[in-house]
Amino acid sequence: MKTCPKCGTTTADDAQSYCLMDGTALVDQTVSEPTVVMDRSRPTVTTQQPRKRKALLWIVLALTGIAVIGGLVGVLMYAAYRMGSESASIKVNANSGQTPASKSKSNPQPTPSAPVSTQGTPSGESIPSADAPTPISWTASAGFVKQETGLQYTFECPPDGTSGTVWGSDVYTADSSICTAAVHAGKITLEKGGIVTIEFTGGRQTYGATTRNGVTTYNYGQYPHSFVFKDAERKEQ
């Protein structure tokens, strides 16, 4: 079989040498085309096992790091909690001592003073006498006397005093410094001291804060016992 390379016409006549359509010499198609040999060998597959192991190792390391960091954070939080609890405990103990540091101007927390019998004075102050003023220190509060509404006590504050802590204005909490409250109320002075008389009144829901006569008092919320100042009655000896 012959084929025209120009127009593609084929003929089975072996004797025909030229294409009847365009006169192009025919080409014999009996010549076999070269055989193409295909490579059928299987490609080599590269294993991914080392890479997978490396990724797994990184995941384990990351999880271990997260666990360690979480443990450290937990330890720090627990330590902060313990420190806060110990600090709160120290403040409560300070409050029971009724020192100037036992309250703050923003949120004072006094320890309510329960009525105390005049038989014995835990604070070391003298037992009040009906015949003469009772000498007290400038840090003394009314916590060592019986705190009933209407009861009156007369005290003598020494000269050259040092200001204590006071809560209220005109009406003071029973755990305030008596002598310092007297200076605030204008009854005595730090330099000279003097004799003052207090009278117990009922508790109040709030106590105001003011600055008078060089003494600044603190405000406070509810407290069960209060005192006010009365004119001292001095007896002639």
Compute the distance between CA of residue 195 and CA of residue 178 in angstroms, rounded to an integer: 11
pLDDT score recorded for residue 127: 57
- Identify the structural domains of the chain with CATH numbers, from first to last: 1-32 (no CATH), 82-237 (2.170.130.20)
pTM summary value: 0.48
Span 131-182, pLDDT tens digits: 689 999 999 998 889 989 999 999 999 999 999 999 999 999 999 999 999 9
- Selected residue with higher pLDDT from 38 and 140: 140
